[in-house]
Amino acid sequence: MSKPDVISNFTTIVATLAIVLQVLVVVLLLLAFVSLFSKGARRLLVGLRDTFAGSELWLAFAIALAATLGSLIFSEYASFIPCRLCWFQRIAMYPLVVILFVGAIRRDSGAVYYAITFPIAGLIVGGYHKYIEIHPEAELAGCKIGAPCSTKWIDKWGYVTIPVLALSCFAAILTLLLFAWSSKRAQARADAADDAEPDPGPEPEPLPAA
């Protein structure tokens, strides 16, 4: 198989996975919105959260690792030159691999607080990058140095480009971190409720036999 064919197949695979992530995130967002008015939707959302409880950091790590390796394949194998905004998104993604891995290994729920700013920053930069792709006339002078930020190295199905791949991963990671945060709060409330239960005291001694 020729190199262009390998790149084309790889691009199709990652674009398909990105769409799967997009669908899952949109479904969860809709479910979260409906849960504001529906107890049934709220129970379903809580059930999903409890299903993923304890594995959120591992799943987020897997997505961050895949995104990191994918970006390196694009630049080092496919020879796609990262633009300035691509580098900013890499800066937001690459540390997540280490933070989420260490947090998952240590089962440190506090890793949510260390990590959560990175996907938020990545979503902001990725959203702006996609805007530049759609409106290249708005590209700043700094983006025109080297590889222009408006260059579409891939374009699958009319909208899946490299910033869309990044946006999909950042959105999925942020969703998992919010699940982890919600699970941590639920566990804290359960622990507080257990501590608040009154102490029944010692059991009464049995009466002596007649």
pLDDT tier at 56 (50, 70, 90 boundaries)? Answer: very high
Domain count along the chain: 1
Position 12 in a domain: yes
Checking if the pLDDT of 209 tops 60, the result is no
**Closest residue by Cα to residue 99 from 47, 45, 63, 148:** 63
| Alpha-carbon radius of gyration of the chain | 23
Position 189 in a domain: no
Range of the domain at 120: 3-184
Sign, CA torsion 162/167/170/175: negative
**Closest residue by Cα to residue 57 from 86, 100, 9:** 100
Percent of the chain with pLDDT over 90: 62
Position 209 in a domain: no
Chain segment 59-99, per-residue pLDDT in tens = 999 999 999 999 999 999 999 999 999 999 999 999 999 99
Query: In this predicted structure, which of 4-18, 36-50, 120-134, 190-204 has the lowest mean pLDDT?
Result: 190-204
Position 152 in a domain: yes
Position 208 in a domain: no
Position 196 in a domain: no
Spatial distance between the Cα atoms of 18 and 165, rounded to a whole number of angstroms: 6
Q: Which residue has the tokens 């942020």?
A: 174
**pTM value?**
0.87
Q: What is the CATH number of the domain that holds 65?
A: 1.20.1550
Position 43 in a domain: yes
Task: Please report the pLDDT score of residue 196 as a whole number.
Answer: 62
Position 98 in a domain: yes
